[in-house]
Every structure is written in C-alpha cells, then in structure tokens.
Amino acid sequence: MSKYTFFSGIIAGTSILYGCHSKTTSGKRPDSPNVILIYTDDLGIGDLSCYGATQVSTPHIDRLAGEGLRFTNAYSTSATSTPSRYGMLTGIYPWRKDNTGIAPGNSGLLIDTATVTVADVFQRAGYTTGVIGKWHLGLGPESGPDFNTYIAPNTNDIGFDYEFIIPATVDRVPCVFVENGRVVNLDPDDPIYVDYGKKVGDWPTGEENPELLTLKPSQGHNNTIVNGISRIGYMTGGKSALWKDDEIAQTIVSKAEEFITENRDNPFFLFFGTHDIHVPRVPHADFKGKSGLGDRGDVILQLDWTVGKIVEMLNRLQLSDNTIIIFSSDNGPVIDDGYHDKAFELLNGHTPMGQYRGGKYSLYEAGTRVPLIVYWKDQIEAGIQHARFSQIDMLRSVAAFLNQSLEDDDAPDSQNALQVLLGKEQKDRDFTIHQNLDNTLSISKGGWKYFTPSELPGIERWTGIELGNSPEPQLYRTEEDPSEKNNVARQYPAVVRELSAMLDSIQSIN
C-alpha cells in the first residue's frame, strides 16, 4: 500500500482534533510529508530545458521534472506577481479584491488576517510553516509599514511560523530583508524612510545621477540608487541592512537550509519565493557569463542551482523520501522588463514564451501559462500531466491532502484538484480564469478561450507586450490555435454569449 493510499483512507475529522496522525518516536510523522513550494518569478514555460528550451540547460529542475510530474497546462491566476500570489495562497480570485495590483514596497498586508491561507491549512494539520524569499503581498497596517519597528501584521499573522522575506520585489525599495517582522541588520541610529511619491533623504537617484549606475534602467526604475542600481521608489537609511543583489540567491538558500534543518524532525511547509528570474537580473559571479544568453540566461542557471541546493540539502538531511517539491512560477516571462541587461540582444534563439502569444502582463497564453512540476519520490509516478490545472486550486487541494475541513466561504474559488496534482487523475479543471495587468479577464473552457472586451490600451507601455485588451470580443480555439492567432468571435456568437455570461456570473458572486 502506498503512503498516499494510507493517507487518504484516514477518516476526515481525526486530523482536526489531533493534528494529522500520531507522531513516531523520532517526532516525524511518516504520513505527513514535508512540502516545499518553490515559487519562481517571471519564469516562462520556454525557459527550462525540460519544457523544450535548447539554448539554456536546467539539469536540476529537469531532474525533478523527469522523476516527477511535469504539467503542460498549468496556470497562475494572473499575469503579475501580487495577484497571482494572492490567488494561490487564499483560493480567492484576486480581482474580487480592489487591492491586488502590483504592490509597492510600502504596501500594508494585502491578505486579511481572517482569511484562511495555504499556510493556515498546513498549520492546522500540525506542520511548521515558513516563507522565505519574495513576498510581494504587503506588510503591516493598511497605512503601510514602519520599517524601524516591529511590523505587524506580518506573515506570522496569516499562517507562517517563520518569515524571512523580500517585502516586495528587488527592483522596489526598501532593499532589505524582513525576518519575523523586523528588518534584518537594521542599525536603530540609521532609520529607514520609504516613499513612493517623492524623494526622501539625500541618496542619489537614477534620474539625477545616471553616471553612478552600474545597471541602467531601460524603462522607469530611476528613483533611489542602491548598490549601483536605481529602483522604483525612494528610500534612505538602513545602510547596514541593505541586501547585496548578487548574493540574494545564496542568502535565501541558506535561510531555507536553516529552516529545513531546524524542522527536520517535524512536518514542515516552506513557501520559497525566488527573486530569480525577475529584474534586476544580477547573477552571482559563479553564473555571470555562463549561459551565453546574458544576465537573463545566467539567472536561469542561478535558479537551477537554487533548486539543486534544495534537493541536495534534503538528501543530506535524509528528507528526500519524505518531502514533496512543487515548482512553479507566478506569471509568464518578459524579456526587457526595465533594465539594460541585453536580454533581447543576447536571446540567441531562446524562446521564453515558447509558441505562445503575449508574455508577463498579458491575457494571452504566455501571461499565465506557467511551468509546474510536482515531485514526490516513489509516491508520484514520473510522467507528464496534460490536465488543465490552476493555482487557485492549491488551497483546497492541500486541505484535501491534509484532511482538513474548511468552511464553505473559505477559499471560495478554489476546488480540490489533489488527484490531478498527484497524477492520479487526468481530469481538466472545468474552466480557468486569467487576469492581465489591467484586471481584464478571460475564461478558458472546453478548448475555447474568451476575452472580455476592454477599451484599455492593447499594448503594455514599457515592454511592448500585447495585453489582450481590445474593444472587440475575442474568442480563440486554443487547442487547434494555441498561439491565439485567429479570433473566431464573429463565427461563434453563441459561444461568446455563453462564456461571457459564465464569466459574469462567476464575477458577480459576492
């Protein structure tokens, strides 16, 4: 009998009272595997050799894919980071909330502390939970955090026992890590001030002092200069706390190692958000120049190294038999996302978007179609999962796995897709909903994909990516036309009506 069969046979309810199951003498519950969710940033379906990339090689990720389950039709809820993370962690479509655009670095916590999160579900099942790396869902009260004091609420208030996070993105200030509510290495005599509207303090900006830059912006990104890179937003102070851009991957890997080592004898859940391969792309010297595709390719190698390190530490700690690794991305790829890192010039035939239209920010497939790999040694059969999966289903799938019951209004948009995640079923999700930068929505169902008409600009102003906004309704037959070349809305008005009504009715709930 496999571990999983045993697990799913337990009567629901026991777990609520007593945690999952009784502990073994070592304290480890063999039927409660650890779960590490590696959530990458802006990684495209065409960026990994296991998904067909030929110009870059990602052996560690490929190994997980080769020995685990590789999904070909997996989606994030949204084409940017903050809403995708919100949707995945809460099982609530981010567009139901008004506050899930791209969060600035001084945003308050965007997840209501009363909302059930994936981390809460693990906690209820007796797991120790941690979040390490990119967060991008705000911190502190609605008015925004004071980085000089204990910041509350923080992720500890929404299900994580431990946090070590990049508050927003690495191209946004403040350029510091926050650990359990406090800025790491902050000198109280050098307080941090952050403002997204006007300059604070006297640190140079990219706009005023471009001669100080080691990496120049191609779009925006011309506010405060930190480590030779101008960012979005202004900051001053906190000098001793500033991260080193080329060491971020190493820093978060070593924090993961501490967390995993400390929790080796009890079940743990780690939400590990990489900065790679978001901008600014600053590979460590070990990877600089190694891909032949410039910095964007080099940080793909750095990401692959990161995954290799996690696998290696699990082996070393003898946890590899008992740890599920889920690997995915928050949104699709972008080539030039605001810095002159020669990403376009050095592509060398590499195709981050694969055959798909659009990219990050877009309603077209390359916006939300993401890599997804689920690896569980000897428990998940190696193979390819073609069933349609959406990250919105993470919460209820996890709850089913851990035998945790939920209220009906918890994770209202999430469905239990556990059997698909484990490769036991090949059943498509009935429909998926996609959100672009402007909150325009599309719905995919039964081989059709319908886009809500929008008067907003069709092209993202900085990157030139097609957003999918158009005043005309769009309808694509995504199975025969995966690149969404032929809008067939005029030929199939009944399908347009049906999908538009379906999307309306889903949107009108609550």
Q: Which residues bind Ca ion (CB under 5 A)?
A: 41-42, 81, 330-331
350 interacts with, out of Ca ion, ligand NG6, none, CB within 5 to 8 A per kind = none
Nearest approach, Cβ of residue 80 and Ca ion (Å): 6
- Could you say which residues in the range 269-308 bind ligand NG6, by CB under 6 A? 278-279
Residue 266 touches ligand NG6, criterion: CB under 6 A: no
Strand-pairing partners, residue 37, are 271, 326
Which DSSP string do the residues of 249-308 spell out, in sequence order? HHHHHHHHHHHHHHTTTS-EEEEEE--TTSSS----TTTTT-SSSHHHHHHHHHHHHHHH
Nearer to ligand NG6, 177 or 476 (CB): 177
- Could you say which residues in the range 104-163 bind ligand NG6, by CB under 6 A? 136
449 interacts with, out of Ca ion, ligand NG6, none, CB within 5 to 8 A per kind = none
Site size toward ligand NG6, by CB under 6 A: 18
- Could you say which residues in the range 164-183 bind ligand NG6, by CB under 6 A? 169, 171
Nearest approach, Cβ of residue 463 and ligand NG6 (Å): 8
Alpha carbon of 209 to those of 285, 339, 371: distances in Å? 26, 16, 39
171 interacts with, out of Ca ion, ligand NG6, none, CB within 5 to 8 A per kind = ligand NG6
Task: Report the distance separating Cα 448 and Cα 503, nearest Å.
Answer: 13
Go through the chain and tell me how many residues it has: 510
Among 47, 276, 295, 337, binds ligand NG6 (CB under 6 A): 337
Among 232, 293, 406, 489, binds ligand NG6 (CB under 6 A): 232
- Could you say which residues in the range 187-226 bind ligand NG6, by CB under 6 A? 219-221
Q: What are the helix (H) ranges across 98-160? A: 118-124
Nearest approach, Cβ of residue 380 and ligand NG6 (Å): 29
Task: Report the distance separating Cα 283 and Cα 299, nearest Å.
Answer: 5
Sign of the C-alpha dihedral, residues 228, 232, 235, 240?
negative
Token pair recorded at residue 364: 């077209």
DSSP assignment letter at 170: T
Note whether 339 and 35 are within 8 A (CB): no
336 interacts with, out of ligand NG6, Ca ion, none, CB within 5 to 8 A per kind = none
Nearer to ligand NG6, 169 or 385 (CB): 169
Nearest approach, Cβ of residue 341 and ligand NG6 (Å): 11
365 interacts with, out of ligand NG6, Ca ion, none, CB within 5 to 8 A per kind = none
Nearer to ligand NG6, 226 or 232 (CB): 232
Token pair recorded at residue 286: 């070990």
Task: Report the distance separating Cα 100 and Cα 93, nearest Å.
Answer: 10
466 interacts with, out of ligand NG6, Ca ion, none, CB within 5 to 8 A per kind = none
Cis amide linkage into residue 30, ω under 30° from 0: no
Residue 81 touches ligand NG6, criterion: CB under 6 A: yes
Note whether 334 and 359 are within 8 A (CB): yes
Among 462, 473, 498, 502, binds ligand NG6 (CB under 6 A): 462
Nearer to ligand NG6, 15 or 230 (CB): 230
337 interacts with, out of Ca ion, ligand NG6, none, CB within 5 to 8 A per kind = ligand NG6
Task: Report the distance separating Cα 193 and Cα 223, nearest Å.
Answer: 14
Q: What are the helix (H) ranges across 402-492? A: 418-421
- Could you say which residues in the range 32-51 bind ligand NG6, by CB under 6 A? 41-42
Nearer to Ca ion, 169 or 236 (CB): 169
Nearest approach, Cβ of residue 473 and Ca ion (Å): 28
Nearer to Ca ion, 43 or 64 (CB): 43
Q: What are the helix (H) ranges across 68-185? A: 81-90, 118-124
Identity at 207, one-letter amino acid code = E
Strand-pairing partners, residue 445, are 448
Nearer to ligand NG6, 193 or 196 (CB): 196
Rounded to 5 degrees, φ, ψ at 235 are -145, 160
Residue 99 touches ligand NG6, criterion: CB under 6 A: no
| Closest C-alpha among 115, 98, 104 to residue 144 | 104
Q: Is 148 exposed, middle or buried (0-12, 13-18, 19+ CB in 10 A)?
A: middle
Note whether 475 and 488 are within 8 A (CB): yes
Nearer to ligand NG6, 436 or 478 (CB): 436
Nearer to ligand NG6, 39 or 450 (CB): 39
Nearer to ligand NG6, 109 or 475 (CB): 109
Nearer to ligand NG6, 263 or 463 (CB): 463
Nearest approach, Cβ of residue 296 and ligand NG6 (Å): 13
Dihedral Cα 190, 194, 200, 204, nearest 10 deg? 80
Nearest approach, Cβ of residue 176 and Ca ion (Å): 20
End-to-end CA distance of the chain: 43
Nearest approach, Cβ of residue 370 and Ca ion (Å): 10
Q: Which residues bind ligand NG6 (CB under 6 A)?
A: 41-42, 80-81, 102, 136, 169, 171, 219-221, 232, 278-279, 331, 337-338, 462
